[in-house]
Amino acid sequence: MSNELKDNKVSKPKRKGSKITPLPITHHASQPLNVVLDTSLFVNPDVRTSLGSNPTEALETFLFLAAQIHVLEFYMPPSIFEELLHFVERDKIPAELLLILHQKPPKKHELKTPAFLLYELIEDIRERVNKGLRVAEKAVRSAESKKADEIIQDMRRKYREALREGIIDSKEDVDLLLLAMELDALLITADHGLIKWAEKLGIRWLFPEKFKEYLMSAIKRTELIKKSLAHEPVP
Amino acid sequence: MSNELKDNKVSKPKRKGSKITPLPITHHASQPLNVVLDTSLFVNPDVRTSLGSNPTEALETFLFLAAQIHVLEFYMPPSIFEELLHFVERDKIPAELLLILHQKPPKKHELKTPAFLLYELIEDIRERVNKGLRVAEKAVRSAESKKADEIIQDMRRKYREALREGIIDSKEDVDLLLLAMELDALLITADHGLIKWAEKLGIRWLFPEKFKEYLMSAIKRTELIKKSLAHEPVP
């Protein structure tokens, strides 16, 4: 190392004390993490089970847990909230819901998305449209031997699979993505299309089956903070 | 008016002379307008006719006219340029083309598009996907009376119409829109889907059938500027 470089070291600001004090845990608590939730967490049977045997139960469990959490703020776009209400017994859900789960639409006229995503979306759609046509062609060919009604039932399912699965295909999907972008939030959903797009947009996301675990550890952290606050001397 | 406000007037900078001199016409010429061209101008028979009876002739006419224009800069994304080359007799096209018609891809990783457009694109696709399914269903039903091959021919056409017309559906379309956005250019295309999206994005566009007229008046303006330059005293 040259002398010049050594001398440069001298100009660094000196620490005021020798002991390094860690940031108090309360510091984190002052900025809770935003979390955006999708209906699929309460409705999709594969994901919901840890919370309840039906959507209403799952939502009740969530509310019970969320009420004990001070380190997270839960959000849902109104369009998704409306969807959720179709699946639950409304009179069983406590009004607390409105306080715990904030409803907020994204600022869709202020937000911007990277232009290269347009290419990916359009390429994706193009491929799907072609797949849809193949499905339709097969159906027409099989109509020579089977009845039209049977074939159409089967074709509808296959066509929808080809064109919709793993893609963002609704206003509600866009709402979730943009709200998560706007709030720099964690997105929790069981929808693969949404997760794929969260990846593209740099939105953090959580494996949906970890949702309950995540809530449980948020409760633990809240309790830790409460304890540390109780022991702190009043200034 | 208060005295204070009156006094403020005094601090305004005074004009150096009493005569207002108009901006010299050459001033405009120093900043030519950017124009982004689509293949459809040379290929689409409804639009092309004023320029030539086939794509090669149309492109030759364009080059002849464009060479006389100094007030416009012509651009084309390379993807669109490649498309164009499929339609023309390459050995007939003068090499001047490369100088007159700049090839430039858009900066797709820097540009951003307004988020609300995602809603419109996805809503549009959703409707089209449903239309496509209706087309397929009709085809299956008609298969009871007609032959599969005939039906499929017809279905393909109808399906593509339902899913593709009036929509941006290719990488090339996105290239055109983004390049026009980036260069703040005038987009000239005969594609209705592109014009619809130019409207959404605030991109200026020209009725494609006015393309030749537009070139002719750009030639006139170039000549005017040349004359005014010739008469200007050398400083």
Chain B interface with A: residues with Cβ < 8 Å: 106, 108-116, 118-119, 121-123, 125-126, 129, 132-133, 135-137, 139-141, 143-144, 148, 151-152, 155-156, 159-160, 163-164, 168-171, 173-174, 178, 181
Dihedral over alpha carbons B152, B154, B156, B161 (to 10 degrees): -160
Grade residue A16 by pLDDT with cuts at 50, 70 and 90: very low
Residues of B in contact with A155 (CB under 8 A): 136-137, 140
Mean pLDDT for the stretch of residues A28-32: 67
In sequence order, the 6+-apart residues with CB closer than 8 A to the CB of B233 are: none
Predicted local distance difference test score (pLDDT) of residue A168: 78
Residues of A in contact with B136 (CB under 8 A): 132, 135-136, 139-140, 155, 159
Mean pLDDT for the stretch of residues B127-154: 82
Q: What does the pLDDT look like over A33-80, one tens digit per residue?
A: 999 999 999 999 988 888 999 999 999 999 999 999 999 999 999 999
Q: What does the pLDDT look like over B61-75, one tens digit per residue?
A: 999 999 999 999 999
Residue B97 has pLDDT above 60, yes or no: yes
The whole-angstrom separation of Cα B59 and Cα B100 is: 12
Residue A170 has pLDDT above 60, yes or no: yes
Residues of A in contact with B123 (CB under 8 A): 171
Q: What does the pLDDT look like over B143-179, one tens digit per residue?
A: 777 777 888 888 888 888 888 776 777 899 999 999 9
Q: Do A159 and B169 touch (CB under 8 A)?
A: no
Q: Do A170 and B126 touch (CB under 8 A)?
A: yes
Helix axes A78-87, A171-183, angle to 10 degrees: 120
Beta carbons of A103 and A77 less than 8 angstroms apart: yes
Residue B120 has pLDDT above 60, yes or no: yes
* Triad A92, A98, A100: Cα angle to 5°: 105
| Interface A:B, Cβ pairs < 8 A | 137
Residue A234 has pLDDT above 90, yes or no: no
Residues of B in contact with A163 (CB under 8 A): 129, 132
Q: What is the mean pLDDT of chain A?
A: 84
Residues of A in contact with B143 (CB under 8 A): 140, 143-144, 148
Please give the backbone phi and psi of residue B73, each rounded to the nearest 5 degrees, phi first.
-115, 125
In sequence order, the 6+-apart residues with CB closer than 8 A to the CB of A196 are: A166
Its ipTM equals 0.72
- Pairing relation of β-strands B112-114 and B101-103? unpaired
Residues of B in contact with A135 (CB under 8 A): 136
- Pairing relation of β-strands B101-103 and B72-76? parallel
Distance from CA of A218 to the nearest CA of B (A): 32
Q: What does the pLDDT look like over A180-190, one tens digit per residue?
A: 999 999 999 99
Distance from CA of A76 to the nearest CA of B (A): 17
Mean pLDDT for the stretch of residues A171-185: 95
Helix, strand, or coil (residue A33): strand
Grade residue B1 by pLDDT with cuts at 50, 70 and 90: very low
Given the structure tokens 């839960």, which residue do they identify?
A74
| Cβ-based neighbour number of residue A19 at 10 Å | 5
Percent of chain B residues topping a pLDDT of 90: 51
Tokens coding A125 = 């759609």
Predicted local distance difference test score (pLDDT) of residue B234: 61
Amino acid type, B16: K
Q: Do A123 and B171 touch (CB under 8 A)?
A: yes
Q: What does the pLDDT look like over A85-144, one tens digit per residue?
A: 999 998 888 888 888 999 999 999 999 999 988 898 888 888 888 888 888 888 888 877
Tokens coding A218 = 């948020």
Residue A10 has pLDDT above 60, yes or no: no
Residues of A in contact with B201 (CB under 8 A): none
Given the structure tokens 């509600």, which residue do they identify?
A172
Q: Do A174 and B122 touch (CB under 8 A)?
A: yes
